[in-house]
Amino acid sequence: MPPIDTPHLHPRNPGTPLDLAWFDKIAVNTPAATARAATLATRRSVKKEWQAAWLVNAIQCIDLTTLAGDDTEARVARLCAKARRPLADHILEGLGLDAVKTGAVCVYPTMVGAAVRALDGSGIPVASVATGFPAGLMPLNLRLAEILYAVEQGAAEIDIVINRAHVLQGDWAALYDEIAAMREACGDAHIKAILATGELGSLRNVYKASMVAMQAGADFIKTSTGKETVNATLPVSLTMVRALRDYGARTGYKIGFKPAGGLKTAKDAIAWQVLMKEELGRDWLRSDLFRIGASSLLGDIERQLEHYVTGRYASGSRHALA
């Protein structure tokens, strides 16, 4: 197996025993969460060189993703080339930068080997979805086998999906046991727990599922597969970030956060970074604690940075990904 090249700098979350008292009586004020989230994209104006700096930082936190049924090794290779060099040379020169790269590349398990080869020597880790993505409804032994396969192929990070039925039925022990088994199967690979929040029914369930995932040893909690009807939203992200903050206060461990699905514009990238900075602090503006699951987002960021450098907007087709 190729060596794992991971950017994670902080101690891993070892998890805790399942403790329902941490979240059983939690209440989430949905109108208040919605109102707080609404301020993130409007209250703070980021312009000119400051906007450019935030957008460059966002690129470094992107898990550049392809999860299509018609993925090929050639497409993955092109995506990896973009991950290595996400900005055109004239934009880098205009920004005064030598190089920028994305936080990771995320693919299906069967494409991990191709991605590892394409990223060799870059320092960019390969993330793989697993466990019956996106529904997570395969038998547990097959979900664990898929993790083992992806790790064997060289994945440094595994984006697992939870069984939403456990949340909807309040079977927290079953959810905990499954995620803990997945964490064990990951070994040294970091585990991102996808909650598929658009299918959990309430922000209260989102908080509870977040806490159970962290107690079971998740290194990151992630909003969505990108395949749900509703994916990452700021109120959901705020709820998850508050759970993450509460877990850190109890245990001392820093857990990462990954919004995915629905982040398509440079404005979105800034809004979610503002959320991280205001709720958690500057540490969560680094790729070891913050990722954005996206594909088309990078094209809009590159377009905005080209405008900053040249004063002109390019056609969206000029910044195609793969």
Helices (H), 112-252: 112-118, 140-153, 164-168, 172-186, 203-215, 234-251
Q: Is 159 among the residues known to form the active site?
A: yes
Q: Which of 192, 219, 258, 268 is catalytic?
A: 258
Please, are residues 244 and 195 in contact by the beta-carbon 8 Å criterion? no
Measured CA distances, 254 to 89, 118, 156, 245 (Å)? 35, 31, 19, 8
What does the pLDDT look like over 30-74, one tens digit per residue?
A: 999 999 999 887 766 778 899 999 999 999 999 999 999 999 999
CB neighbours of 118 closer than 8 A, spacing ≥ 6? 76, 77, 80, 81
Q: Which of 101, 192, 208, 222 is catalytic?
A: 222
CB neighbours of 269 closer than 8 A, spacing ≥ 6? 54, 55, 58, 263, 292, 297, 301
Q: How many CB atoms lie within 10 A of CB 47?
A: 8
Starting at the edge strand found earlier in the chain, the sheet holding 190-194 runs 256-258, 220-222, 190-194, 157-161, 126-130, 104-107, 62-65, 292-294
Q: Calculate Rg over the CA atoms of the chain.
A: 19
What does the pLDDT look like over 101-122, one tens digit per residue?
A: 999 999 999 999 999 999 999 9
Q: Is 264 among the residues known to form the active site?
A: no
Asked whether residue 2 carries a pLDDT value surpassing 70, the answer given is no
Q: Is 47 among the residues known to form the active site?
A: no
Please, are residues 287 and 257 in contact by the beta-carbon 8 Å criterion? no
Q: Is 301 helix (H, G, I), strand (E, B) or coil?
A: helix
Residue 105 carries which DSSP code?
A: E
First to last CA, the chain: 27
Q: Rounded to the nearest 5 degrees, what angle is found at the Cα of 257, between the Cα atoms of 71 and 247?
A: 145
What does the pLDDT look like over 141-159, one tens digit per residue?
A: 999 999 999 999 999 999 9
Question: 23-308 sits in which CATH class?
Answer: alpha beta
Going by pLDDT thresholds of 50, 70 and 90, the confidence category of residue 3 is very low
Please give the backbone phi and psi of residue 160, each rounded to the nearest 5 degrees, phi first.
Answer: -90, 155
Q: Which of 63, 159, 219, 288 is catalytic?
A: 159
CA-to-CA distance for 169 and 4, rounded, in angstroms?
37
- Give the per-residue pLDDT at 313: 78
Domain residue ranges of the chain, discontinuous segments joined by +:
23-308
